[in-house]
Structure 1
Amino acid sequence: VRGIAERQLAEVDRIVRDCFEARDDIQPVTRGELQALMRDGLVTLIDVRPPDEFALGHVPGAVNVPLGEVKAWSQGADPGREIVAYCRGPWCVMSFEAVAALRSLGHSVRRLEDGMPEWKAAGLPVEMAA
């Protein structure tokens, strides 16, 4: 039984790795890099989680753009300004989908390598909706 479980776990690990790595052909942004970019005013940070999650806590300076609204939001975005998207973490597909949608519209966009749970766990500042 253990051997079967180990083979299955290895197969699942390979599938997950292949799925996520294939989606991310540009190096993601680290937390430290994002902090520097935000401090220097060089990026627009979007949180693509639903509004209720955003209200419970988000990276300071982030704009809430739920995944379903990304394309509409992008029409007013500065095409010369880099965008960084984040969501629930490295295994959440929302930031990958937002990056793909924005790139297809010609925007320069990357994703945060992790998400809000990791941001909070690192003890970094969190802003709450008013």
Structure 2
Amino acid sequence: MLILLVVIGAIVAAVLVWPKADCEASAGSCSASPQTTRAETILNEIKTGEAALIDVREPDEYAVGHAPSSILFPLGDIEAGKFELMDKDKKLYLYCRSGNRAGIAEDALQRQGYTNVENLGGLSDWQSLGGELVTN
């Protein structure tokens, strides 16, 4: 029994020390890199011009809280064909309150020739992706 405890202790110690030894061997370049959230990835795509984040709610809803860097473009305007973007292949991320209007907007934009449209759902879905909300 004592031998078994010693063996288990040695295994646990090896597991705990191994990553540290690896880091020291690589001249200390081993640091834990935090996971990038999906929201951060989307915001980075927006910063580089690869994508746009579109809020399809109404102005009063947008004023209460919205995703940073999002553009307000209400569903009614999208359905009326008022949404114009030169590059119809640009990634468009859509959201609303619950995901319903974003889904309708996604269909409308695809009918208008936009090829890279994604419904992110509602604001709570944005937050579950790691996104924050801002107000005007």
**TM-score of the superposition, structure 1-length normalised?**
0.62
Aligned to 1:93: 100
| Conserved 8 A contact 2:40-2:131 | no
| Conserved 8 A contact 2:95-2:123 | yes
Aligned to 2:31: none
**What SS does the corresponding residue of 2:93 show, helix, strand or coil?**
strand
Matches within 5 A, 1:28-107: 32-41=37-46, 42-71=50-79, 72-89=81-98, 92-107=99-114
Pair member with larger Rg: 2
Q: Choose between structure 1 and 2 for higher RCO, CA contacts under 8 A separated by at least 6 residues.
A: 1
**TM-score of the superposition, structure 2-length normalised?**
0.60
Read off the aligned partner of 1:80 and give its amino acid letter: D
Distance change >3 Å, CA 123–CA 96, structure 1 → 2:
closer
Which ranges of 4 or more aligned residues in structure 1 deviate by more than 4 Å? 120-123
Q: Give me the CA root mean square deviation.
A: 2.2
Shift of 1:38: 2.0
- The whole-number CA distance in structure 1 between the counterparts of 2:103 and 2:112 is 15
| Conserved 8 A contact 2:75-2:101 | yes
Give unmatched runs, 5+ long, in structure 1: 1-31
Identity of aligned residues (%): 29
Q: How many residues align?
A: 95
